[in-house]
Each structure stands twice: as structure tokens, then as C-alpha cells.
Amino acid sequence: MALVPCQVLRAAILLSYCSILCNYKAIDMPAHQTYGGSWKFLTFIDLVIQAVFFGICVLTDLSSLLTRGNDSQEQERQLKKLISLRDWMMAVLAFPVGVFVVTMFWSIYIYDRELVYPKLLDNFIPAWLNHGMHTTVLPFVLIEMRTTHHQYPSRSCGLAAVCTFAVGYILWVCWIHHITGVWVYPLLEHLSPGVKIIFFAAVTVIINIFYLVGEVLNNYIWDTQK
């Protein structure tokens, strides 16, 4: 795919995330007024991650165009740092967290939507916004992976970063329950303490698997072995 269409595509995706975030924040939901606000939901955190990531992608594209034909070594170093940040975010956050949110949400939704997305939310969140938060994330991140080769970090560093994010969010959810006495997700209300530990461990393993899937898929698409 040509460079300019890729730039336009990334800019369009960034604008779509900005629109989704603005519309989501404009919704007057009771959950937004309680402790943690929107930041207690992984869906919202993922939307912010995706918006920041594609913002960095757009900034990288602009910087690449501005430095083209320029012999400034300092600008070249700054561009390389920006590319490294973009690739790290893709590998550690954008792909594994995005895929995790989509797959886990729809898997639980199909089984019993009340465990993750009660019907009451239909009164606040329109269907198009729900898909913007829980569906289009996957094709957007796959499009980015297909159009741009991302350099993954060493596997040990990548997995350590993913684990840190997963454990950090789990601790955040537990802290919210400690303060409010209410679990962020209704599903957790039905699990015993022992099963909760197993569930949290399984979630951490799954998101690490998605990191590995992203690494393998990136290498397959770009045929880095050759």
C-alpha cells in the first residue's frame, strides 16, 4: 500500500477513536460518577491506548515526511526514537490489549451478556458506539500491522511488559472493590475467592498468548526470516 493512503488511513482511524472517546465521555452513566470513573473499565483504557498509539503513528508519518531529504542526523535520531516508541506500543499494548478486549467481551457477551454488558447499558450506549469500543478495534489494529512492519522487542522484555500491565489492571480492579465493595464486572460477583485467583491468572496468560500471536503474525506478514 502506498505511503500517502496509509497516512490518510491512520489519520482516519485516529479521528474515529477521538470521536468514540468524546461520545463515550459525553454519556451520563451512573458508573462514570463512581470511584475510578471511566478508568475502571478496560474497554475505556484500551480506547485511550489505541488513540494514543494511532496518534503516535500519525506523528511518525508526519515526521517521516518532514525529514525526507533532510540530512540532519539529530532529526533522524528523533525519528528513530518515535518509530521505536510506536513499535513498542503496538507490540506490548495496542495489539494484545485490543485483541483481548474484543475476544473476551464478545465471548462472555455471547454466553451471558449480563455478566459483562447488562441490557441496562443499551439505554445509555447506542449499538454503533458499542461496536466502536468492542469490535472495530480488531480490524483497525490488523490493518496497521498489515500496512507497517513493527520491530518487536525481545520476547522476555515484551512478555514482562505485558504481564506488568495485566497485573497492574487486576490490582486496580481489586483496589476498586476494596474501596467500594463492588466489582467492576458483574462476572466477578459470581466467583469464589479461589476461582477469582484462577480467573485472574488465566486472564494474564491469555493476554500473554495474544502478545505471542501478534509477534508471530507480524513476522509472518513481513516474512522477517527471509
The 10s digit of each residue's pLDDT in 2-57 is: 445 788 899 999 999 999 999 998 888 887 888 989 999 999 999 999 999 999 99
- Spans of all domains in the chain: 6-29+36-224
Residues 6+ apart with CB under 8 A from 192: none
92-115, pLDDT tens digit by residue?
999 999 999 999 999 999 999 888
CA distances from 43 to 10, 101, 112 (A): 21, 6, 18
For the chain, report the end-to-end CA distance as a whole number of angstroms: 20
Whether residue 18 contacts residue 52, with contact meaning beta carbons closer than 8 Å, is answered with no
Whether residue 183 contacts residue 189, with contact meaning beta carbons closer than 8 Å, is answered with yes
What is the Cα–Cα distance from 207 to 98, expressed in whole angstroms?
10
55-67, pLDDT tens digit by residue?
999 999 988 887 7
148-173, pLDDT tens digit by residue?
999 999 999 999 999 999 999 999 99
CA distances from 10 to 53, 176, 197 (A): 10, 35, 39
Summary mean pLDDT of the chain: 90
For residue 98, give the C-alpha cell.
485490543
* pTM value surpassing 0.75: yes
